[in-house]
Amino acid sequence: MGEPAMQRTTSNDADEDVRLMLACGAGDDAAFTLLFRRWSGPLLRYLERIVGNAASAQEVLQETFLRVHRARERYRPEARFSTWLFTIANRLALNELRRPGRRSEHRSLEADEDGRAPLVLAADTPRMEDLLDARRDGDALERSLAKLPERQRAALWLTAVEGLSYAETAKTLETTEKSVKALVHRARVALVDGAQTGA
Read off the pLDDT of residues 90-107 as tens digits, 9 standing for 90 and up.
999 988 888 876 544 434
Name the DSSP class of 162.
Answer: S
Query: Measured between alpha carbons, how far is 26 from 68 in angstroms, rounded to an integer?
Result: 14
Within 10 angstroms of residue 35's Cβ, the number of other Cβ atoms is: 22
Domain that holds residue 190: 127-199
- Side-chain half-sphere exposure of 92, counting CA atoms within 13 A: 25
Report pLDDT digits (tens) over 37-55.
999 999 999 999 889 889 9
* 169 domain-assigned: yes
| More confident: 148 or 7 | 148
118: in domain: no
User: Average pLDDT over the chain, rounded to whole?
Assistant: 77
Residue 29 resides in a domain: yes
pLDDT tens per residue across span 120-176: 444 444 554 544 555 555 565 667 777 888 888 889 888 888 888 999 899 988 999
Q: Does 80 lie in the same domain as 6?
A: yes
Provide the CATH number for the domain around residue 1. Answer: 1.10.1740.10
Domain count of the fold of the chain: 2
- 94 and 138 part of one domain: no
Residues 74 and 139 in one domain: no
> Are 1 and 88 part of one and the same domain?
yes
- Same domain assignment for residues 5 and 65: yes
Contact 176, 129 (CB under 8 A): no
Tell me the C-alpha to C-alpha distance, in Å, between residue 90 and each of 3, 47, 64, 117, 171.
Answer: 12, 8, 9, 32, 11
